[in-house]
Amino acid sequence: MIALEVSGLPLTLYAFVGIIMLVGIVKKNAIMMIDFALQAQRNDNKSPEEAIYQACLLRFRPIMMTTFAALAGALPIALGHGAGAEARAPLGITVVGGLALSQIITLFLTPVVYLYLDKLQNAFKSAGPPLEADDRHSNPEST
C-alpha cells in the first residue's frame, strides 16, 4: 500500500492480487522459520534463543531465493511499458514494495515475536493451575 501511494498508483484489482500473493509468500517464509525453530527446541533440546537463531541461519538462503525469484518476476511488470502496462503496474509495484518490507519483517521481526511469545507462554505455565475455591468461603451455611 505504501509503494502504491509513493508511486501514485491506485489500489486496483491487480494490486489486490499482488497483496494476496505477498501474504502467501510471507506466510510461508515465517511459518517455515518457526517450524525449524520448534523442531530444534523439541528434538535437539535447544533454548528458544538458540533454536530461532539456528532457524534463521538455515532459512535465510531459501527466504532470499524466494524473494529474489518473486522480485525477478514482478519487476518487469512494475517497470513495464506498452499496451496494458498501466493496468498491470499496480500488481508489480505492490509485489516489489511488499517484498522489500516483508524481508525486514520476516528476517528481523519474526524471531523477536517468537521469543516474546515463548516468554509469555512460560509465564502462563509458571503461574500454575488456578487455585480451587475454599468450600467454607463459597458456602456460607457450612460455617
106 falls within a domain: yes
Q: Which range marks the domain in which residue 117 is found?
A: 2-123
Among the listed residues 119, 111, 120, the one whose alpha carbon sits nearest the alpha carbon of residue 52: 111
109 falls within a domain: yes
Give tens-digit pLDDT for 87-119.
888 888 999 999 988 888 888 899 999 999 999
Asked whether the beta carbons of 25 and 99 are under 8 A apart, the reply is yes
Mean pLDDT is highest, among 24-33, 53-62, 128-137, for 53-62
Task: CATH number of the domain at 79, please.
Answer: 1.20.1640.10
Give tens-digit pLDDT for 11-50.
889 889 989 988 888 888 889 999 999 999 999 999 999 9
132 falls within a domain: no
Rounded to two decimals, the pTM is: 0.72
| Residue in the block written with cell 522459520 | 33
130 falls within a domain: no
142 falls within a domain: no
Counting the structural domains of the chain, the total is 1
Q: How confident is the model at residue 58 (pLDDT cuts 50, 70, 90)?
A: very high
